[in-house]
């Protein structure tokens, strides 16, 4: 288990979210021992390279005039000695003004003119609560604290993510907004003019920063994520300045997506589900990995895909091997495969036949999710008809619980 040893090298750039201009910002790391400084991104490029220990739980990025960003590193200790490229977006705070909300951090000494003439015509305000990065409407609670009366009024957003309230006195009103999974918003609003205007205010809430960093190879042309929870919304990945082999997405919600990768000829070469967790997520395109010869992949004695007793769940080692098989097939469209499922001789043979078919199907599904089309896959379930070892010991029985893959020429129409 790592302690203070560098576990992750993070390289990238800090940018203004709206303009994409580079920013100089301060980096801090959170551990169980507290918070410590890691350095500053360079001026004027915004670029940085920092080493983070395995005990780190979060990276904190701060700059005056911008909202603080927090990047969770909960899975860091399980991936030591990793180098990852990222883009860190910073969102400017709302500056102080009249009759509109602004961050409390922007409050300076202010004396409201003619504040004794308190009564005004109703100023009608509509507050719309959204995700600061995606613009998604959010359910939230808004609390208004009035300076003059010290009264506090709390309201929940309606189905349109809105809160409507009338201000009838000149005042400085404190505004607090909370929504599950988001940082609390603390702001003020100077109520100055009362002329029955209809004012709309966008309150943008920041969640914990969620990033996908994807390592790619030179043959990759384009990468995108399609949301499975948001009507197939497409999110493109963008290159990291100074890193030729890394693409990044940061306009993400923690949920399940489909990752689609095309080559430079715009041909789909990889498609697979990917679950994005809060914080830093990393992945590698299969086109970025060296691919072994197909015959070599499945000809070794240990190349059969093994299964637990009465199970058709793919083991971790099998997934790694199938990832190589999928990448090889994508690069060799002239080939097809025969997937054959097998079982040991324990139990009812009819049930064993069904189990062997399920084992073949789960392998087929894994390959299809990575770009291998149905017309290139043939599946067979043989139960215990072709055992490769006697059914006398547990070790030999395990050898019979398998799926094999045979490469054949693809049939042409």
Please indicate, yes or no, whether residues 164 and 257 belong to a single structural domain of this protein. no
The answer as to whether 187 is a domain residue is yes
Please indicate, yes or no, whether residues 401 and 313 belong to a single structural domain of this protein. yes
Please indicate, yes or no, whether residues 249 and 169 belong to a single structural domain of this protein. no
The answer as to whether 399 is a domain residue is yes
Please indicate, yes or no, whether residues 327 and 381 belong to a single structural domain of this protein. yes
The answer as to whether 180 is a domain residue is yes
Residues 204/132, Cβ–Cβ less than 8 Å: yes
Domain of 346: which CATH number? 3.30.1330.60
Please indicate, yes or no, whether residues 300 and 404 belong to a single structural domain of this protein. yes
Q: What distance in Å separates the CA atoms of residue 253 and residue 355, rounded to the nearest whole number?
A: 37
Please indicate, yes or no, whether residues 232 and 312 belong to a single structural domain of this protein. no
Length of the chain (residues): 413
Name which of 394, 409, 402, 357 is nearest 379 in CA terms: 357
Name which of 280, 272, 208 is nearest 52 in CA terms: 280
**What is the number of domains present in the chain?**
4
pTM comes to: 0.62
Give me the pLDDT at residue 75, please.
60
The answer as to whether 40 is a domain residue is yes
Render pLDDT for 128-179 as a digit per residue (tens, 0 to 9). Answer: 999 887 788 999 999 999 988 899 999 999 988 899 999 988 888 999 999 9
> What are the C-alpha distances in Å from 86 to residues 14, 23, 245, 247?
9, 14, 12, 8
Give the residue from 205, 225, 251 where a domain finishes.
Answer: 205
The answer as to whether 95 is a domain residue is no
The answer as to whether 177 is a domain residue is yes
Domain of 47: which CATH number? 2.60.40.1120
Structural domain including 309 reads 294-409
Residue partners of 108: CB distance under 8 A and separation at least 6: 96
Give the residue from 288, 308, 325 where a domain finishes.
Answer: 288
Please indicate, yes or no, whether residues 61 and 150 belong to a single structural domain of this protein. no
The answer as to whether 1 is a domain residue is no
Please indicate, yes or no, whether residues 47 and 122 belong to a single structural domain of this protein. no
Domain of 181: which CATH number? 2.60.40.10
- Largest Cα–Cα distance of the chain, in whole Å? 97
Instruction: Please give the chain's pLDDT, 413 residues, in tens.
Output: 344 556 788 999 999 998 999 999 999 999 888 899 999 999 999 999 999 988 888 999 999 989 889 999 866 544 544 789 999 999 888 777 677 888 877 665 555 555 555 677 888 899 999 988 778 899 999 999 998 889 999 999 998 889 999 998 888 899 999 998 888 898 899 888 766 668 999 998 988 889 999 988 777 888 999 987 777 788 999 999 888 889 999 988 888 898 988 878 777 777 788 889 889 999 887 655 545 555 555 554 446 899 999 999 998 888 878 888 888 888 788 888 999 999 999 999 999 999 999 999 999 999 988 888 899 999 999 999 999 898 889 999 999 999 999 888 887 76
DSSP string, 160-204: TSEEEEEEEE-EEEEEEEE-TTBPPEEEEEEE---S--EEEEEEE
Please indicate, yes or no, whether residues 110 and 174 belong to a single structural domain of this protein. yes
Q: What distance in Å separates the CA atoms of residue 67 and residue 89, rounded to the nearest whole number?
A: 10
Please indicate, yes or no, whether residues 151 and 196 belong to a single structural domain of this protein. yes
Give the residue from 259, 288, 317 where a domain finishes.
Answer: 288
Please indicate, yes or no, whether residues 302 and 405 belong to a single structural domain of this protein. yes
The answer as to whether 350 is a domain residue is yes
Please indicate, yes or no, whether residues 396 and 365 belong to a single structural domain of this protein. yes
């Amino acid at each position: 288990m790592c302690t203070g040893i560098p576990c992750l090298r993070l390289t990238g750039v800090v940018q203004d979210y709206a303009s994409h201009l580079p920013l100089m910002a301060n980096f801090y790391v959170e551990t169980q021992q507290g918070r410590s400084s890691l350095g500053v991104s360079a001026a004027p490029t915004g670029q940085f390279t920092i080493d983070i220990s395995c005990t780190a739980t979060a990276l904190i990025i701060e700059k005056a005039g911008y909202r603080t960003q927090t990047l969770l590193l909960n899975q860091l200790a399980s991936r030591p000695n990793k180098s990852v490229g990222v883009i860190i977006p910073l969102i400017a705070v709302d500056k102080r003004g009249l009759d509109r909300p602004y961050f409390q951090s922007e409050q300076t000494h202010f004396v409201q003119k003619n504040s004794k003439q308190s009564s005004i015509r109703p100023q009608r305000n509509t507050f719309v609560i959204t995700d600061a990065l995606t613009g998604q409407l959010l359910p939230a609670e808004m609390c208004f604290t009035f300076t003059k009366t010290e009264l506090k009024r709390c309201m929940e957003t309606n189905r349109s993510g809105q809160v409507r309230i009338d201000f009838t006195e000149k005042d400085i009103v404190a505004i607090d907004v909370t929504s599950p999974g988001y940082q609390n918003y603390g702001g003020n609003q100077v109520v100055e003019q009362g002329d029955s205007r209809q004012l709309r205010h966008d309150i943008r809430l920041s969640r914990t920063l969620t990033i996908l960093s994807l390592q790619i190879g030179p043959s990759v042309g384009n990468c995108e994520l399609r949301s499975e929870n948001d009507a197939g919304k497409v999110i493109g990945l963008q290159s990291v300045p100074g890193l030729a082999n890394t693409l990044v997405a940061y306009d993400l919600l923690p949920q399940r997506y489909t990752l689609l990768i095309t080559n430079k000829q715009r041909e789909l070469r990889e498609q697979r589900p990917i679950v994005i967790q809060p914080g830093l997520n990393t992945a590698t395109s299969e086109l970025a990995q060296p691919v072994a010869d197909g015959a070599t992949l499945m000809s070794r004695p240990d190349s059969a895909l093994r299964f637990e007793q009465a199970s058709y769940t793919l083991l971790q080692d099998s997934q790694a091997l199938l990832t190589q098989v999928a990448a090889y097939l994508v690069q060799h469209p002239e080939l097809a495969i025969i997937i054959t499922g097998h079982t040991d001789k324990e139990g009812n043979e009819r049930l064993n036949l069904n189990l062997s078919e399920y084992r073949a199907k789960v392998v087929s599904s894994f390959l299809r999710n990575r770009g291998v089309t149905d017309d290139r896959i043939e599946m067979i379930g043989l139960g215990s008809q072709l055992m490769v070892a006697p059914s006398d010991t547990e070790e030999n029985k395990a050898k019979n619980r398998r799926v094999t893959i045979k490469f054949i020429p693809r049939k042409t129409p």
